[in-house]
Amino acid sequence: MATTSAILKKKKSVIFERWMNNQLQSEILRDDLMSNEDLRYQSEELIDILLANLTEDNMSDTAAMSLDPVIEILSGIAITRARQGFSPRETGAFVLGLKEAILDVLATDIKDNGKLFEESRKINRLMDNLSIISFETFIKGREEVILRQTDEIAEISTPVIQVWEGILALPIIGTLDSQRTQIVMENLLQQIVESGSSIAILDISGVPAVDSLVAQHLIKTISATRLMGAECIISGIRPEIAQTIVHLGINLSGVVTKATMASALSYAFANTNLTVKKISSENKKS
């Protein structure tokens, strides 16, 4: 009697076409994320590497090094699907669909029920393990996507703007935590060096609340700015934030604070000996 691995290699085209048909007819087919041609290529890549490396020994030992090429290809597929926007369920169904096609072929070719039961157990164990590996890799890939998006959002939400020669403004929107404080400081200090600015305005009108932790982060940023030789102004001090700062006993006496960005700009202009004048309509015509 032919071995199970030999049967599967001989029936590879049958397994592949059955697997593909099941995927194309599935309710969870995501042709909005992947074309049928790409799905066929991805499926063919996995079944080729799996059957090329499958032996009677590693069917019973899912940790065998001989399966490393299979795990490598499968991990690449899982990460790609995570980046494309597939769900964990859809990625798991991809591998489990192959298992179903393999078991269907075994049920047709192995007539001895005892042998079929034993070989089916091996295939179940092998494919379930591969499914777990794909799920774990998918989660890692999704975490990488989330971390990258978080970093990109943090960069976008902490822009340093040169509002005038020698004057920088940094509007802060959202909660200011340790990670964002580090990004704020790095961006601000870099711009101070590049522009040679002497005044930096931190606008916190978009910060929902100020607690002792947020205040500490602000003070760290102010201290770092001063070490670079620039003066720091905090604008956007709303009444409720002012009351919170007083209740918390936070000392900002050595820091210039303004209620609005406009007030902060006026102060900055005065400190840099700049005057902003309104031109009358008559002067514009002349």
User: Is pLDDT at 248 greater than 80 in this prediction?
Assistant: no
Give the number of other CB atoms < 10 A from CB of residue 255: 15
Give the number of other CB atoms < 10 A from CB of residue 123: 18
**Per-residue pLDDT tens for 81-93?**
988 888 888 888 8
**Helices marked H in the chain — which ranges?**
4-10, 12-24, 36-53, 56-60, 68-84, 88-109, 113-156, 178-195, 212-227, 239-248, 261-271, 281-285
Domain end marker among 85, 116, 151: 151
DSSP β-bridge partners for residue 164: 167
Distance CA 159, CA 182 (A): 13
Residues 136 and 204 both lie in one domain: no
* Mean pLDDT rounded to a whole number for the chain: 84
Using an 8 Å Cβ cutoff, are 184 and 221 in contact? Answer: yes
Local structure of residue 65 (DSSP, 8 states): G
242 in a structural domain: yes
Q: Answer positive or negative: Cα dihedral of 181, 187, 193, 198.
A: negative
In the block, residue with structure tokens 């340093």: 160
128 in a structural domain: yes
Local structure of residue 241 (DSSP, 8 states): H
pLDDT computed for residue 97 by the predictor = 92
Residues 73 and 199 both lie in one domain: no
Residues 33 and 140 both lie in one domain: yes
**Per-residue pLDDT tens for 166-219?**
899 988 877 777 777 777 788 888 888 888 889 999 888 887 777 777 777 778
From residue 134, how far is each of 35, 46, 70, 112, 184 by CA, in Å?
21, 12, 11, 32, 37
Non-local (6+) Cβ contacts of 78 within 8 A are: 91, 133, 134, 135, 137, 138, 141
pLDDT computed for residue 171 by the predictor = 86
Domain membership of residue 208 as a residue range: 161-271
pLDDT computed for residue 253 by the predictor = 74
Residues 75 and 171 both lie in one domain: no
pLDDT computed for residue 154 by the predictor = 61
Residues 140 and 264 both lie in one domain: no
278 in a structural domain: no
Q: What angle separates helix 12-24 from helix 36-53, to the nearest 10 degrees?
A: 150
48 in a structural domain: yes
pTM: 0.57
At 208, which CATH number?
3.30.750.24
Domain end marker among 151, 176, 197: 151
**∠ CA 272-276-281 to the nearest 5 degrees?**
165
Residues 133 and 253 both lie in one domain: no
Residues 90 and 136 both lie in one domain: yes
At 56, which CATH number?
1.10.490.10
pLDDT computed for residue 15 by the predictor = 94
Confidence of residue 285 (pLDDT cuts 50, 70, 90): low
Distance CA 160, CA 193 (A): 12
Residues 208 and 81 both lie in one domain: no
279 in a structural domain: no
Q: How many domains does the chain have?
A: 2
277 in a structural domain: no
Residues 234 and 110 both lie in one domain: no
Distance CA 219, CA 223 (A): 6
Q: Which of 91, 1, 101 is nearest to 51 (CA)?
A: 101
pLDDT computed for residue 39 by the predictor = 92
280 in a structural domain: no
SS3 category, 260: coil
Residues 85 and 126 both lie in one domain: yes
Residues 144 and 173 both lie in one domain: no
- Average pLDDT, stretch 210-234? 83
51 in a structural domain: yes
**Per-residue pLDDT tens for 94-113?**
999 999 999 999 999 888 88
Confidence of residue 18 (pLDDT cuts 50, 70, 90): very high
Distance CA 135, CA 141 (A): 10
Domain end marker among 130, 151, 172: 151
Residues 62 and 197 both lie in one domain: no
Confidence of residue 19 (pLDDT cuts 50, 70, 90): very high
